[in-house]
Amino acid sequence: MSRSALSPDGDGLRLMHVHAHPDDESSKGAATTAKYVAEGVAVMVATCTGGERGSVLNPAMDRPEIWADMPRIREQEMRRARAILGVQQVSLGYVDSGLPEGEDPDPLPEGCFGLMDPEAAAAPLVRAIRSFRPQVVTTYDEHGGYPHPDHVQCHRVTMAALRQAADPQLFPEYGPAWTVDKLYYQLGFNRKRFAALDAEMRRRGLESPYSERLAAWENFDYEQRITTRVDCADYFEVRDDALRAHASQIDPNGQWFAIPLDIQKAVWPTEDYQLVYSLVPVCLPEDDLFTGLRSQSRRPQLADLLVS
């Protein structure tokens, strides 16, 4: 393990990402993940659901046998992606809620993740946090990054789990209480980033895939909330390889890969986050999720400082 991946007491630095579905770990913050793995940081992905109700978005795989075997397909894809990223991964075991669509969408299916009590659903994540003991956790903001019921629920469950994991009175069977030092929201889907990529594509005389998305964009909040930009352009290829591993979910000829990598690296070489709370001193803006943890001693406290 490299010296840069050691915390002040000599223990290793550990990062946990909490995601809703298989493929989210590869589409949100994956280059950051690859960067820290390369530096010797231990990274764990906690995946809330199996993605059983995901759509087949790759035309080459849109076949009846794929739809019929979706749980196994998603598990296999997740296995390939985590190997590419070099991460540990734990599945919390909940059932995908699906994405309600249309003017009069069907109600969420009984027993799905989105309908669970977040305080109760947090239990397996508490166990994972106490076992892995991350100093840093990332997840989605209160709106889920976008209004998918599983993404919103992922936020709620993560917040509940952080509180519960820090309380020694709860779940003693899961091991000693653990307080996470820093929590971040992933804010990669901010308008300013897409607008910059769009502008450079047009400047080079190339067709941008983002024109309609930008014209319809209504939420300008995220670009104002960014506190932390991690320079990870050297790992965009790893990110894309991990995303392609989710072959049923990703069209290799679609928008995800429409912007040449040289443009992405030149125009927006970072992945972006909002620091929600920190139990160690920091000075904003940051360029490292472990700012304050490489040179400061841990200060374990109850997580009653969480902002939900």
Q: Residues comprising the binding site? A: 21, 24, 151
143: left (phi over 0), alpha (psi -120 to 50) or beta: alpha
Give CA separation, 300 vs 105, 199, 272, in Å. 45, 45, 26
144: left (phi over 0), alpha (psi -120 to 50) or beta: left
Cα–chain center distance at 204: 31
Distance CA(283)–CA(290), nearest Å, equals 12
Q: Are 75 and 69 in contact (CB under 8 A)?
A: no
* Sheet of 228-231, strands arranged across: 88-94, 42-49, 14-19, 136-139, 182-186, 270-278, 228-231
Binding-site annotation: residue ranges for Zn(2+):
21, 24, 151
